[in-house]
Each structure stands twice: as C-alpha cells, then as structure tokens.
Amino acid sequence: MIDSLFSVGLYIVPFLVILTVIVFVHEMGHYLVARWNGIAVDAFSIGFGPELIGRTDRRGTRWKLSAIPLGGYVRFTGDLNAASVPDPDAAARYSGEEAKALFVNKSVWRRIAVVAAGPAANVLFTFLVLYALLLGYGRMTLDPTIDEVLPGSVAEMAGLAAGDRIVEVDGFTIRGFEDFQRLVATAPQRPVDVTVERGGAEMAFIVVPEAVETTDRFGNTHTIGRIGVSRGVDEDEVVLYRPGPVEAVAMTFEEISFIIDRTVAFLGDFFVGRGDLDQLGGP
C-alpha cells in the first residue's frame, strides 16, 4: 500500500510542479501584456478555489496561491468571474480613467494581444529552456546509419537497406539516430518521408510505421510507430554534441517545430479514426 502511494506521489508531484510552472508562465504573459496596454488587473492566481496565501501590490492586484493547483487565472477589473466573462454592468460602475482601464473597453487588437500573450509566453519559455539545455549540456548523439533492416519489416518493403544514412525525415534534419527513432515513434500509421544517403547519392522513401503498444514504468500503455530497423550501440560511437550559440537557436526552433508538428498530427488522428483517447495525458 505504501509503495503504491509512493509511486502515485512520484507521478502526481512532478505533474503538479510542471503544471504550476506552465500556468504561471502562461498567466504572466496575459498579465504583462495587459499591464502594457493599461488594463487594470484585480487578481493573479495560481490555482483555483480558496486563497491559501497572498498579497496585494500597490496597483491593487491581488497575487495569490489558491487551494486547487490545477490551473490559474488573471482576473481583469470588470470581469464577472475568474474565467474573464465580462460583467455587462461593469461599464456603468466605472467612469473616466477607471473605465478606460477596463479590458472590455480596449480596442479589439489590444484584447487579441492580451489573449494571445499566454500561449506566446509558453512558446517563448519553451524556447529559452530548450536553448539553455542545448548550450549547457549539449546532446548525446549516435551517427544515424542503419545497421540492420528486419526481414519482412515496413522498412524493407519501403526499400530501406543496411548502410543507409538517414539525412531527413518529414522535413526535419537528422543529426543522430535518436532523431530518426523519435520521428518514427511519433508517427504510428502515418506516412513518413525519409531521405537517406546511399552510395554518395540521396534517395527518398515513404514509409508507414506500424502501430506498436508499449508500457511505461507507471503502467501506462502508449502506441508508437516502428518500421523495423536497428542501430548497434558502441560506446566509442556515442558522442556529446555541443552546438554553438547560433546553431543552438536553429536547433531549438527545430525542436519547437517538431513538438507543434507532432501535436497537431496527433490531434488530427482523431478526425480520421486513428486517434486513441487513452493516449491523451500530461500537463
């Protein structure tokens, strides 16, 4: 029983920490752009429900940590509730400079900027984190050359062969075999464009990874794509690649592009009958 509770705790605590960081960055985006546009803010809350701790700043904004750590909100002056539903009677209660500071009285472009600032802040934060990790730690990589193609596999039927060096997959540059594995794994039953170098020339193939179920250490089942190729791992071949500051920018944009591309493709699967609701999870 204790072991089970401990295992659940190991999953829930990191989940809540990550979710709190994501929510804080997201809401801070809304808050900062609202302030830059002269919009009055009543509250900035991490979590919902009763307030646990908080303080009010000199501008009248209440900064607080609430009891239910499953989200957060920025409440603008004149909002009916934490979901930013406008109060239809708010305009009558405010006049002069106060009325000018209401969210509902700002131009449509300023309101769009405030709404878009939340997701934009998350993307910017993601960029900074990934960029810092690349510069600080680099990445372990293995030459993206196929050692073996399993007989009767998707890869063999598509025409891939041992010795092929993977150059590009779905428009993404391949720097290591792990890039190739990840792109294939995140595309079960979806056509994947693969460009390889063979005999000094580049060749293009289309493969459709078969869907394979795997189980993680928490007992969750995931569906991933596999095409039936392998790469031997020799310790001498694994190298630490450290990009320069400029190259790291391009690599970070590629990583964000990959996240967005695969997320959109995953959600798109639900519209063509390939989606599995059991695969949805995480912050």
Residues belonging to the active site: 27
Question: Of 181, 158, 175, 169, nearest to 230 (Cα)?
Answer: 181
CB 47 within 8 A of CB 71: yes
Q: What's the CA gap between 49 and 68, in Å, rounded? A: 6
Q: What's the CA gap between 114 and 35, in Å, rounded? A: 9
Q: Which residues partner with 210 through β-bridges? A: 226
As a three-state string, the secondary structure of 223-252 is EEEECCEECCCCCCCCEEECCCHHHHHHHH
Q: What's the CA gap between 29 and 38, in Å, rounded? A: 14
Report how far apart, in Å, the C-alpha atoms of 15 and of each of 19, 221, 222 are: 6, 18, 18
SS3 50: strand
Question: Of 195, 25, 24, 37, nearest to 113 (Cα)?
Answer: 37
Handedness of CA 242, 186, 155, 193 (dihedral sign): negative
SS3 122: helix
Question: Of 125, 75, 78, nearest to 100 (Cα)?
Answer: 78
**DSSP state, 193?**
E
